[in-house]
Structure 1
Amino acid sequence: MRQRVARVAVVAVLVALALLAVPLALVIRASFFADERGELERAALSAAVRVSPDFATGDPVELAPGHFEGDLGIYDPALRRRAGTGPALGDAVTGRAASGTVAQRDGDGELVVAVPVSSAEHVIGVVRASTSTASVWKRVLTAWGALLAVALAAFGIALLPARRQARALAAPLEALARTSQSVTDGDLTARAGACGIGEIDQVALNHNAMVDRLAQLLRHEREFTANASHQLRTPLTGLQLGLEAALATPGADLRSAVEEALAESHHLNETIDEVLSLAKDATRSGPGAPAQPVAALLERAELRWHGPFAMDGRRLRLGLDRAVAGAATPRRTTDQILDILLDNAHRHGRGSVEVTLRDLGEAIAIDVTDEGSLSLPPSVIFERGTSTGPGQGIGLALAAELAESTGGRLSVTGTEPTRFTLLLPRTAE
């Protein structure tokens, strides 16, 4: 990535230098040749001044000594050299100047300027000045070399910020690639940081939002799997034990066993629906949500949990205030919460377990109390993964989520003995 960005910057610099240097080189060449023609013309004009009107009658001309390095000659109208240096006979340039105009030629390795000398409106001679183009090209090449050196220096200077800019652009993209690779390797906590480049920061923001959404979906999937396994394990075990006991007992009432199994299977089906509803962020507290009297709630709980507690030599007591026995609560959701609290008391509590009902006016309080003690702080007891025994710490966290889905609240209201209190809004029957 860095090499590609640097390559683009280098190409851009080279194109810019070429667009600047090539026209400048052409201008330098034209300027040097124009300057040299100007020098030749000035030398020729200086020599023409020394030609007297008597030149046509044979008056000799003496050229002043100077620093002119080329050939400087004076020709008569017949194009014969009369003084100075140059070809003995004038060339085509000299002939054009003899017609009364300044003539120039650049070719055959020579730069020539011819100036006519007039007297009384007649051309009496021609001054021809010439020099080798090699000397001009030498100065042009020297200037081009200096231009090339400046261009190379500019390229070198421009290369440093180009490389720095390449690093500045490539570093956040490389960091984003590493973050994406970490996510691919399973690290859903990896997040891309900001770099100050708006477009790349937007890509990083979208990437982080995608990872957050992916992590949320995976968390919901894992929680659903854990919730389902937690809620289905105990009822399935009870169903299997009931059927096995009926088959193993001679003369047992199989119809009664089948009816109990059907009731358990209905409860399992409701449990699955409730866990699915929670996984989809649906609630059961809105209009049309199934409701039941709290008396029926406690009776159903006693029917399911009296046997497991009795098998362990423990008592399950239900305290029902008849004044609020007809108060309605969300049916399946409250059943699930009460099952979790009773299962928690069965697994982690001690002694007798008491379920009591209290009327709080706009709400109903259900207390589940056992004779054990709570060793964990109440502030962490509902965090997923928190457990005081061999369990996975799913039940109480799920119960708290279910309580919130009904608009209620689950809290710890006692540690010695342990007491959990479920607050539920009244629901129309």
Structure 2
Amino acid sequence: MRRRLIQSTLAVVLVVISVFGVSLVIVETRTISHSAQERVESEAVRLASIVDRRLLGAETVNAEALRDQVADGQYAVIGIPGQQPIEVGSKPPGDVIHATAKGGQGETVRVEESRSSVVREVGRTMLIIGLVALLAVVAAVLLAIRQANRLTSPLTDLAETAERLGSGDPRPRHKRYGVPELDRVADVLDSSAERIARMLTAERRLAADASHQLRTPLTALSMRLEEITLTDDLDTVKEEANVALAQVERLTDVVDRLLTNSRDPRNGSAVSFDLDEVIQQQIAEWRPAYRSAGRAIVTSGKRHLQAVGTPGAVAQVLAALIENSLMHGDGTVALRTRVTGNQAVVEVTDEGPGVPADLGARIFERAISGRNSTGIGLAVARDLAEADGGRLELLQAQPPVFGLFLSRTPPPKDREERQPTVR
């Protein structure tokens, strides 16, 4: 494209120069020829008037007397009746320009001038026109190169941006070129890059959340299956199988919630539920893991609390906190329930060293971890808590105390359903 732009621009300039250059040469050649002819005619008339004046004054008319009246490069022949022709100057060779004038005493004056002077002047004029045309061509080439670069460089950049988008690099460049059409394409590519970046971020976040949230129920399920393989007691097998089925249901709920959050992270399904049931479920699931680690997990506090939220999401939040205590904490892990205002609070604490002082409130940020972990669990737990109108806070750093705050007020839609319709 760059070469075609340069060639097309140069072709247009050459056509224009050819048309106007040839016309100008023709006009200038004619003008110079007419000017030379007029000059010779005026010299003939002037010389005839001089000869006429000398004849009237009875002065001598010869070549010596008229030598100074003829310009260099010109040749004059004066014919006087009854006398020999008088020649002044050297006769020019080759083609000549001539003019004849008559005086009042019957004399004739013929002035000749070599046409080579006209040719030389025409040559100088053509040289000047040629130089101007050459400068115009050079300027046109430089302008064409500049314009071609101005158009092709943005197109190259836009092609590279599109290629980067196709290769999975959705960073917008925010580069503009001063050409409205190209800037429009750049705007569209940048908008597409931002949308692709958001989509990739959401997909990566979903993959990270899924891998983290599915790991816990899968681990618990594998432990139950191991318990089944190690026992011959039919009652124990049935009990463990029932627990495993419950964990499979919880795993299904986790998958459904991940898919729901991937479409709309605020699309909660909050209901009123018994908080004790969720806590006891988590205690039962995590007790084998704590028993294997030589640690205990206990519960205390106010019983039979009704909270508002999604039971599966609350279970995932508690599982994240219990797993966090198992990995990073020490000693006994305690789940305490209490009421503050119109909220039910579940506190999870252990006897470990707690949260480092340099982390503080950043403990809920993604990729922030005090040890060699993913740093995703607490961030996901906070998102799940906030999705149903609750919140997750670090109440105390050392020893660590995490608090899950859940509303005790029924969801607005429940209240609306209970209200009678006013007609």
Q: Does 1:312 align with 2:293?
A: yes
Q: Relative to structure 2, which stretch is displaced further, 204-213 or 390-399?
A: 204-213
SS at match of 1:31: helix
In 2, Cα distance between the equivalents of 1:318 and 1:176? Answer: 61
For the structure 1 residues 28 and 291, does the alpha-carbon distance in structure 2 shift closer, same or farther, using more than 3 Å as the test?
farther
Q: Residues 235-272 of structure 1: CA distance to partner in whole angstroms, max 9, x if unpaired?
A: 12222332342244213235444433322111111101
Per the alignment, residue 278 of structure 1 pairs with 261
Q: Aligned pair 1:231/2:213, yes or no?
A: yes
Question: SS of 1:327's equivalent?
Answer: strand
Which residue of structure 2 aligns with residue 330 of structure 1?
310
- Of 303, 318, 339 in structure 1, the residue corresponding to residue 319 of structure 2 is 339
**1:110/1:130 contact within 8 Å kept:** no
Look up the SS of the partner of 1:367 in the other structure. strand
Which moved further from structure 2: 169-178 or 362-371?
Answer: 169-178
Label 1:414 to 1:198 Cα distance change in 2 as closer, same or farther (>3 A). farther
1:3-22 to structure 2, matched below 5 A, reads 21-22=21-22
CA contact (8 A) 1:41 1:114 kept: yes
Show the counterpart of 1:69: 73
| Cα distance, 1:38–1:379 mapped onto 2, change above 3 Å | farther
How far apart are 1:423 and its partner, in Å?
Answer: 2.8
Alignment correspondent of 2:34: 34
The alignment status of 1:140 with 2:122, answered yes or no, reads yes
CA distance in 2, matches of 1:328, 1:407: 9
Q: Shift of residue 47 of structure 1? A: 4.7
Q: Aligned partners of 2:4, 2:405: CA distance in 1, in Å? A: 64
Q: Percent identity?
A: 30
Quick one: which of 336, 361, 375 aligns to 1:356?
Answer: 336
- 1:197 pairs with 2:197: no
SS at match of 2:363: coil
SS in 2 for 1:359: strand
1:359 Cα offset (Å): 3.0
Among 381, 400, 410, the alignment partner of 1:418 is 400
- Report the more deviating stretch, 402-411 or 218-227: 402-411
Preserved contact between residue 330 and residue 427 of structure 1 (Cα < 8 Å) = no
Higher deviation after alignment, 356-365 or 16-25:
16-25
SS in 2 for 1:420: strand
Distance 1:403 1:198 in 2: 49
Q: TM-score, normalised by structure 2?
A: 0.73
Q: CA deviation at 1:21?
A: 4.8
Q: How many residues are paired up?
A: 391
Give the alignment of 1:25-424 within 5 angstroms. Answer: 25-47=25-47, 49=49, 64-65=66-67, 66-67=70-71, 69=73, 110=95, 112=97, 117=102, 131-152=113-134, 192=173, 194=175, 197=178, 199=180, 203-253=185-235, 254-285=237-268, 289-322=270-303, 325-376=305-356, 377-424=359-406
Kindly report the root-mean-square deviation, in angstroms, between the aligned alpha carbons of the 2 structures: 4.4
Listed as ranges, the gaps of 5+ residues in structure 2 are 56-60, 89-93, 415-423
Q: Is the 8 A contact 1:314 1:351 kept in 2?
A: yes
2:322 maps to amino acid: L
Match of 2:417 in 1: none
Shift of residue 325 of structure 1? Answer: 1.3
Distance 2:221 2:252 in 1: 13
Indicate conservation of the 8 Å contact 1:50/1:62, yes or no.
no
Would the alpha carbon gap of residues 250 and 178 (structure 1) be closer, same or farther in structure 2, given more than 3 Å must change? same
Task: Mark the CA change 1:383 to 1:150 in structure 2 (over 3 Å): closer, same or farther.
Answer: same
How has the CA–CA distance of structure 1 residues 395 and 51 changed in structure 2, closer, same or farther, with 3 Å as cutoff? same
CA distance in 2, matches of 1:372, 1:169: 65
Does the aligned pair in 1 maintain the 2:347–2:401 contact within 8 Å? yes
TM score, norm. by length of structure 1 = 0.72
Determine the structure 2 residue equivalent to 1:104: none
Q: Conserved in 1, the CA contact under 8 Å of 2:96 and 2:115?
A: yes
Q: 1:372 Cα deviation (Å)? A: 1.3
SS class of match (2:362): coil
Query: Whole-Å Cα distance in 1 between the matches of residues 210 and 375 of structure 2?
Result: 14
